[in-house]
């Protein structure tokens, strides 16, 4: 009996920003607020960084601020190198960020201040998740859909899924593995570095590898000629 | 009206709006502000109310009434909250409350959700009957006169939540504080696509030739918008590129300094035939639209700014904008991607030259700018945010909401 394939239901999320009313004008204040900020706040400034569609100098808001507003380049590089998906618990991630900042403060105990108005503002978010009304039953439909959906949908399935499911795996490759068992394609998607592309870049990469697969499946004649 | 945004606004925003409309269907949603004419708040409310109704929400817009004494007081309160030195006496605060009490007797305040815009009607919360009440603050509260903030915050803290335009405009409060950026309406007269005939009409009216690159700044003649700095930047550019400069703005009749600034600007322009100083009367939306579309480079070289929505308006016309790094401008201009942020006259001049000399780069940035506005600063996103905030307040405590 043919295996019943569960269609891939595209969903999307948007975030509504909430201000905590707290801000930091230098590195010492940043670390002090980070130490007591809510988990939601740390989550927003790290995991949700990619939802904002920033360019690729940094990988989280703390690194971004250290680099752009404090011009602490080495610190921003250290902070950008922290992979939030390496941590099972948000407090472990918080502690790693604090260790890096503390280490920097030990070496440079008199941090400069940000310009007025350029302070770090601590925020949280409320996230709304909703179906976008697109469903794919096979890889060709999936390919069409991936080209069509908004960046917010890529964030939900490619980034947010890694923490939602707790396994560090994105929704796309999981579905392709479960539904079609295409190990090579699954590997290609899983090797896309989430930190090295913006959401549009991720979308293009996935579309590219899926298109390659669909074309290969489709080009029966080539295979026939090869086997002759 | 909702259908006019299909193909213009992001599809996901429209889907979410419809889903939130279904969730909040037939619920009553009341907005109250202090004027029915003029200003960004009114522009948004005029559009938003019919769209909300189309989505099935029982939306209503009420305006408080007051005499000139009341509005003189509220103007002082407004200025003091933005950091200007003003004296608000006890008698003035009492009058502010008294007028609000009179309005509370006239306006039906019963609704499932109530949004009160700005400080003028803030005391209405004292007459709250039902529903979730939100105080929508459109002004920058980052550096207020503390005494005035302390007084008005007694009202603000009684709301269920506050909504600010930008995180850095907010203050530490005991209630939830949401952030919802303001927006532009892509189908309004100021932003809609124009026909060639409409474009030519304006060009003819102002006698503008388009055979040379055009540098444009649209803003009130106000020192914080730095029109003198714009002319100085144009003079630096003029050594390298033959171009014309258009400074277009309203005469700012309610601002006693407006006349003086305009005089200074004219003197500084010193009869240069390539500098056009256009005094636009109110309701010049289509002319502004045309000017933004014919400009080669658009500036918003503000020294101090609220949100600065003229930046998004220009970006929506596919233009790379050079903006002063102040207020809400850095939220709209991603430096080097959707335009340039500058900190000086020399910086502005350098970026103008860069854009004039690299039309391909200018075009690419302009395209990025338009897409950035589409994703972040259209009215549909703002309505989506307002409804999301209301929905979130009803699901208090939940950080993730599945629809």
User: Would B403 be classed as within a structural domain?
Assistant: no
Q: Which residues of chain B have pLDDT under 70?
A: 251-256
- Cβ–Cβ gap B167/A123 under 8 Å: yes
Q: Is residue A21 pLDDT above 60, yes or no?
A: yes
| Triad A101, A106, A112: Cα angle to 5° | 70
Interface residue B176 vs chain A (CB under 8 A): yes
What per-residue confidence (pLDDT) applies to B171? 87
What per-residue confidence (pLDDT) applies to A222? 61
Q: Residue B13: closest CA among chain A residues belongs to which residue?
A: A14
Q: Is residue A55 pLDDT above 70, yes or no?
A: no
Q: Are residues A155 and A110 in the same domain?
A: no
Mean pLDDT for A66-79 is: 94
A128 phi and psi angles, rounded to 5 deg:
-110, 125
What per-residue confidence (pLDDT) applies to B162? 97
CA nearest to A21, candidates B122, B176, B330, B397: B176
Q: Are residues A109 and A153 in the same domain?
A: no
Q: Is residue A181 pLDDT above 70, yes or no?
A: yes
Q: Are residues B116 and B242 in the same domain?
A: no
Interface residue B180 vs chain A (CB under 8 A): yes
- Cβ–Cβ gap B399/A125 under 8 Å: yes
Read off the pLDDT of residues B308-330 as tens digits, 9 standing for 90 and up: 999 999 999 999 999 999 889 99
Q: Are residues A114 and A135 in the same domain?
A: no
Q: Residue A148: closest CA among chain B residues belongs to which residue?
A: B11
Mean pLDDT for A31-45 is: 95
Mean pLDDT for A14-20 is: 94
Q: Residue B359, exposed/middle/buried by CB under 10 A (0-12, 13-18, 19+)?
A: exposed
As for the ipTM of the complex, it is 0.87
Mean pLDDT for A94-103 is: 97
Report how far residue B186's alpha carbon sits from residue B189's, in angstroms, rounded to the nearest whole number. 9
What per-residue confidence (pLDDT) applies to B254? 54
Report how far residue B188's alpha carbon sits from residue B290's, in angstroms, rounded to the nearest whole number. 13
Q: Are residues B229 and B170 in the same domain?
A: no
Is there a contact between B28 and B110 (Cβ–Cβ < 8 Å)?
yes
Report how far residue B391's alpha carbon sits from residue B16's, in angstroms, rounded to the nearest whole number. 12
Interface residue B142 vs chain A (CB under 8 A): yes
What per-residue confidence (pLDDT) applies to A163? 84
Q: Which domain, by its residues, includes B76?
A: 2-183+378-394
Residue numbers in B near A130 (CB within 8 A): 15-16, 19, 402-403
Q: Which domain, by its residues, includes A175?
A: 8-12+128-222
Residue numbers in A near B15 (CB within 8 A): 130, 132-133
Count of pairs with CB atoms under 8 A, one residue in A, one in B = 85
User: Would A3 be classed as within a structural domain?
Assistant: no
Residue numbers in B near A124 (CB within 8 A): 399
Interface residue B28 vs chain A (CB under 8 A): no
Q: Are residues A118 and A23 in the same domain?
A: yes
Is there a contact between B110 and B27 (Cβ–Cβ < 8 Å)?
no
What per-residue confidence (pLDDT) applies to A225? 62
Neighbours of B232 (CB within 10 A): 18
Strand-strand pairing, A120-136 and A8-24: antiparallel
Q: Which helix (H) or strand (E) holds A67?
A: helix A61-68
Q: Are residues A113 and A33 in the same domain?
A: yes
Residue numbers in A near B387 (CB within 8 A): none
> pTM of the full predicted structure?
0.91
Cα→Cα distances B158→A21, B70, B153, Å: 17, 22, 8
Interface residue B175 vs chain A (CB under 8 A): no
């Amino acid at each position: 009996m043919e295996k019943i394939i569960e269609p891939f239901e595209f969903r999307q999320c948007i975030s509504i920003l909430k201000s905590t009313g707290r801000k930091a004008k230098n590195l010492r204040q940043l670390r002090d607020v980070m130490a007591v900020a809510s988990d939601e706040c740390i989550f927003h400034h790290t995991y949700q960084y990619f939802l904002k569609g920033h360019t690729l100098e940094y990988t989280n808001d703390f690194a971004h601020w250290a680099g752009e507003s404090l011009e602490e380049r080495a610190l921003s590089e250290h902070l950008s190198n922290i992979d939030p998906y390496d941590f099972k618990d948000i407090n472990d991630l918080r502690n790693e960020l604090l260790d890096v900042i503390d280490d920097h403060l030990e070496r440079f105990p008199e941090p400069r201040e940000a310009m007025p108005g350029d302070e770090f503002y601590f925020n949280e978010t409320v996230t709304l998740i909703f179906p976008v009304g697109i469903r794919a039953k096979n890889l060709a439909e999936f390919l069409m859909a991936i080209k069509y959906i908004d960046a917010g949908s890529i964030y939900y399935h490619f980034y947010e899924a890694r923490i939602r499911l707790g396994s560090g795996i994105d929704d796309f490759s999981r579905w392709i593995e479960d539904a079609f068992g295409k190990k090579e394609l699954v590997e290609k998607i899983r090797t896309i570095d989430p930190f090295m592309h913006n959401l549009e870049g991720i979308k293009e990469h996935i579309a590219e590898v899926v298109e390659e697969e669909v074309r290969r499946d489709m080009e029966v004649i080539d295979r026939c000629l090869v086997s002759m | 009206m909702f259908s006019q945004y299909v193909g213009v606004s992001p599809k996901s925003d429209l889907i979410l709006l419809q889903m939130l409309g279904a969730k909040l269907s037939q619920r009553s949603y009341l907005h109250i502000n202090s004027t029915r004419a003029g200003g960004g708040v009114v522009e948004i409310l005029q559009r938003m109310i019919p769209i909300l109704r189309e989505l099935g929400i029982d939306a209503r817009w009420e305006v408080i009434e007051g005499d000139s004494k009341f509005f003189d007081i509220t103007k002082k309160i407004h200025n003091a909250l933005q950091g200007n030195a003003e004296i608000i006496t006890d008698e003035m605060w009492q009058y502010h409350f008294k007028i609000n009490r009179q309005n509370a007797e006239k306006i039906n305040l019963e609704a499932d959700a109530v949004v009160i815009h700005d400080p003028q009607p803030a005391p209405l919360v004292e007459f709250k009957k039902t529903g979730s009440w939100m105080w929508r603050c459109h002004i920058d509260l980052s550096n207020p006169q503390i005494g005035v903030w302390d007084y008005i915050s007694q009202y603000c803290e009684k709301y269920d939540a506050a909504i600010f335009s930008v995180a850095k405009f907010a203050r530490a409060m005991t209630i939830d504080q949401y952030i919802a950026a303001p927006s532009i309406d892509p189908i309004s007269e100021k932003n809609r696509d124009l026909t060639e005939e409409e474009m030519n009409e304006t060009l003819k009216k102002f006698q503008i030739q388009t055979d040379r690159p055009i540098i444009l700044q649209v803003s009130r003649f106000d020192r914080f918008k730095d029109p003198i700095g714009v002319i100085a930047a144009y003079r630096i550019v003029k050594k390298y590129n033959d171009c014309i400069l258009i400074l277009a703005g309203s005469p700012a009749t309610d601002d006693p300094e407006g006349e003086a600034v305009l005089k200074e600007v004219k003197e500084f322009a010193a009869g240069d035939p390539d500098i056009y100083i256009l005094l636009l009367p109110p309701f010049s939306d289509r002319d502004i639209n045309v000017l933004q579309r014919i400009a080669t480079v658009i500036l918003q070289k503000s020294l101090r700014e609220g949100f600065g929505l003229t930046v998004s308006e220009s970006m929506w016309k596919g233009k790379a904008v050079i903006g002063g790094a102040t207020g809400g401008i850095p939220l709209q201009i991603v430096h080097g991607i959707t335009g340039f942020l500058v900190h000086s006259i020399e910086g502005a001049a350098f970026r103008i030259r860069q854009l004039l000399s690299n039309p391909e780069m200018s075009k690419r940035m302009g395209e990025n700018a338009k897409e950035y506005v589409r994703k972040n600063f259209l009215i549909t996103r703002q309505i989506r945010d307002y409804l999301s905030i209301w929905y979130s307040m009803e699901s208090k405590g939940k950080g993730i909401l599945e629809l």
